[in-house]
């Protein structure tokens, strides 16, 4: 499956959700995750993300590896609902889009 990784945190642009044919995306307070059970590896969402947060799990580098389990866990959390319509990004997205290390800010 494809996975959402660190650049999404504190930005959450949500362009990705509109193109997913399987409605795989779930939404938390400052991050989105992909349900690996629904993802058909079409890769349509990848180019939609302005901060390149979406990658193929099979090609995840060392820093991205923990996001494989994280996407799986988030997709299973009943508090994280499906999201299929784009919405406004988080208020401080301009500030956070260039910050790479922000995993400690992830809200579950």
Q: Contact, 7 vs 98, CB < 8 A?
A: no
Q: Look at residue 15 and give the partner it binds from ligand SF4, ligand F3S, none, a contact being a CB closer than 5 to 8 Å depending on partner kind.
A: ligand F3S
In the list 34, 49, 55, 90, the residue contacting ligand SF4 (rule: CB under 6 A) is 34
41 binds ligand SF4 (CB under 6 A): yes
Q: Which long-range contacts (CB under 8 A, 24 or more apart) does 40-47 make?
A: 41/1, 41/2, 43/2, 44/19, 44/20, 45/2, 45/16, 45/17, 45/19, 45/20, 46/2
39 binds ligand F3S (CB under 6 A): no
Q: Look at residue 32 and give the partner it binds from ligand F3S, ligand SF4, none, a contact being a CB closer than 5 to 8 Å depending on partner kind.
A: ligand F3S
Q: Look at residue 26 and give the partner it binds from ligand SF4, ligand F3S, none, a contact being a CB closer than 5 to 8 Å depending on partner kind.
A: none
3 binds ligand F3S (CB under 6 A): no
96 binds ligand F3S (CB under 6 A): no
């Amino acid at each position: 499956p494809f996975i959402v990784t660190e650049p999404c945190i504190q930005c959450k642009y949500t362009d990705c959700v509109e193109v997913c044919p399987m409605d795989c995306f779930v939404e938390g307070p400052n991050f989105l995750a992909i349900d690996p059970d629904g993802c058909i590896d079409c890769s349509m969402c990848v180019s939609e993300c302005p901060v390149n947060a979406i990658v193929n799990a099979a090609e995840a580098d060392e820093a991205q590896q923990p996001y494989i389990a994280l996407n799986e866990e988030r997709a299973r959390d009943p508090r994280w609902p499906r999201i299929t319509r784009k919405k406004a990004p988080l208020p401080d997205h301009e500030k956070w889009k260039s910050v790479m290390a922000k995993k400690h800010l992830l809200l579950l």
